Amino acid sequence: MKKLAILCGIIAALLCLTQNASAQYARRGANIVDNSGFILSDSQLINLVGQDVFDQTVVGARKQYKAGNGLLWGGLAGTVVGIGGAAFAMYKITNDTAVDINDLSSALEEEPGLAALYIGSYALASVGASLFTAGIVLKSIGKSRLNWVGEQANAAKGYTLNVGPTPHGVGLSVTF
């Protein structure tokens, strides 16, 4: 039992060490950073991954990531404002009119301003939810493409040290 605990401790220590050894460059936001957290300039990134990868992947991935981020937060704001406006309109309609809530159409006829607010808010919430969904998709695509660029930059270093599955079981592997 004691040997098993020691072996598990050694494997855990190796996993912690390999995490630092294989992660030379990583993605933070729409940028690639080094181990110390400094953002790589475009020229440094071109030196690591090449001009073709930079032009074909990095530029587009950054645009996708930033556009997705904008759509995500804008869509979220639109959804929240739309739901709030619709809830406010419904609250005012049900509390300020003498019409039964089950007869909502006559209540909307009596209060055309609140009806317009309700319909407009509902439309804003629907558009906001659509933009939010599109933002999630764009941001995740841009994020995965930038992660791939970080992996290519790590591969340019020449080697990686990994502990995990190998063709013959679990073990320590060095990739050149």
Phi, psi (degrees; rounded to nearest 5) at 54: -60, -50
CB 48 within 8 A of CB 153: yes
Q: What is residue 11's three-state secondary structure?
A: helix
Side chain identity at residue 57, one-letter code: T
* Alpha-helix runs per DSSP H in the chain: 2-22, 42-49, 51-53, 59-96, 104-110, 112-156
In the chain, domain spans:
25-156
Residue 24 binned pLDDT confidence (cut-offs 50, 70, 90): confident
Phi, psi (degrees; rounded to nearest 5) at 99: -95, 145
CB 153 within 8 A of CB 49: yes
pLDDT of the residue at 107: 65
Using the 8-state DSSP alphabet, how is residue 50 labeled? -
Residue 1 binned pLDDT confidence (cut-offs 50, 70, 90): low
**105-125 tens-digit pLDDT:** 666 677 778 888 888 999 999
pLDDT of the residue at 22: 44
Q: What is the mean pLDDT of residues 94-106?
A: 66
